[in-house]
Amino acid sequence: MTDAMKSPLLTDLYQLTMLQGYLEDDMREEAVFEFSVRKMPENRGFFMAAGLESVLDFLEQARFEPAELDYLASTKRFSKKLIDYLADFRFTGIVEAMPEGSLFFPDEPILRVVAPIGDAQLVESRVINLLHLQSLLASKAARSVLVTAGRAKLIDFGLRRAHGAEAGLYAARSSFIAGFDGTATVLAEYLYGIPAFGTMAHSFIEAHRDEKNAFLRFAFANPGIVTLLVDTYDTLRGTRHVVEISEELRRKGIPVRGIRLDSGDLAELAKKTRRILDDGGLRDAQIFASGNIDEYAILDLFSRGAPITGFGVGTKMDTSADAPYLDCAYKLMEYAGRPKLKNSEGKATWPGRKQVWRLCRGGKMIADRLTVEGDLQEGKPLLRRYMKGGMRLEQPEPLADIRVRAAGELASLPEHLRKLEDSPPYPVEISNRLKQMKVDIEKEIASVEKQ
């Protein structure tokens, strides 16, 4: 059976029809495609790159299964030449990209594919799919990390309302890259080594004869992770029940690690439950909050002095609710050694293979410069090579190292870009060489179109 997530059939029909057109005209020269985001969503100041590892995995493993080829032939849309081409398909190109965890801005390429045009075209849809989702989610998660500023733990709680199983897994990974402390998704711990955290649901309380008994039974079954959900019936009474059973648990060597609030006025309830816990001798017990939490809610809770030490950030992050998509594109920049551009209104591109140079001073980002590849500039070049001949040039980067990079990138952000509001955009300058290249190509296109 086809593994849908690995199949090159997970694509748009027009990729195959264009490929058939290239083959009919024997167009097999090298092409350069670049992935970038055109516009910044409202109230956002930066993007965080994620998804490169998934892209590299896909490109290394992409193969058409015999059954898939039989299906394509059965549709009568495609020539034998195309079917034979797909039967032998192996990605043999080059991939250059910004490392995961890098910050980037509109019009900056974060990934470049260099391959025969048919191959580079064929992988477009899945490359966009993988980079778009993970960069979207990492960018959203990073905002909670900035607002929290180390004052509380952040746990991804969003699997159940993510847009599919793969999206839920990528949310766990992307948020961990951005600086989250863990996830509730067990498979993410198994696959990626991301610490898994969990408490309990209201159903567990409801299934028992009373709340105190439910708390005790859960603690006896899970003595190392006793964080108790206190708002099933009455939050303050539930917290008092936690205090009442804590001495029995202590005698059995079971510590109460904390309580979880999931509804109501979280700031006020956190203050009141904190007093109950402290007065009951549970000063070390943590208060964990969930329920429609995002960076805006965290900012509000801290501004109101809520003594919350952990947040379960779920639906609004895993769906990037305030900005659920990025205006991204994977566009042809060069074919057969000649730079190309698109001049569509509102969707124009800068031509050719490009590099992004970043200038920092005093540990802070000052400006980026977008220029033609090979045009040396002051600062640090951001794109580097990860794949050649369809093979990785190095082992996958450890997730811990990506997290360190992302933390350093966030620390280097100018202060005004750390806020949850519109602010002056980060400067991305266009080099004179790139501007001139565009002018030259526009003149060439105009000349050809007149003929």
Residue 60, pLDDT above cutoff 60: yes
**Confidence at residue 346, expressed as pLDDT on a 0 to 100 scale:** 84
- Would you say residue 1 has pLDDT above 60? no
Task: Please identify which residue in the block is written with the tokens 């509730």.
Answer: 184
- Tell me the C-alpha distance between 320 and 64, whole Å: 33
Q: Please name every residue paired with 403 in a beta bridge, in sequence order, or none if there are none.
A: none
CATH architecture of the domain with residue range 13-136+327-424: Alpha-Beta Barrel (3.20)
**Residue 5's pLDDT band (boundaries 50, 70, 90)?**
confident
pLDDT digits 0-9 by tens, 265-287: 999 999 999 999 999 999 999 99
| Average pLDDT over every residue of 351-372 | 97
344 pLDDT band, cuts 50/70/90, is confident
What is the Cα–Cα distance from 79 to 85, expressed in whole angstroms? 10
Are 13-136+327-424 and 138-318 equal in CATH topology?
no
The pLDDT score that the predictor gives to residue 2 is 63
Determine the Cα–Cα distance for residues 442 and 195; give it in Å rounded to an integer.
52
pLDDT of residue 345: 87
Percent of the chain's residues with pLDDT above 90: 95
Provide the whole-model pTM: 0.95
| pLDDT tens-digit readout, 207-240 | 999 999 999 999 999 999 999 999 999 999 999 9
Angle, to 10 degrees, between the axis of helix 399-411 and the axis of helix 165-178?
Answer: 60
| Architecture of the structural domain at 138-318 | Alpha-Beta Barrel (3.20)
Distance, in Å, from the CA atom of 448 to the CA atom of 451, rounded to the nearest integer, reads 5
pLDDT of res. 375:
95
Domain ranges in the chain are: 13-136+327-424, 138-318
pLDDT mean across residues, the chain: 96
pLDDT tens, residue by residue, 131-158: 999 999 999 999 999 999 999 999 999 9
Can you say whether residue 253 is alpha, beta or left, with left for phi > 0 and alpha for psi between -120 and 50 degrees?
left
Residue 178: pLDDT band (50, 70, 90) is: very high
* pLDDT for the residue 153: 98
Mean pLDDT of 188-217: 97
Contacts of 144 by beta carbon, 8 Å cutoff, 6+ apart: 154, 180, 294, 295, 298, 311, 313, 317
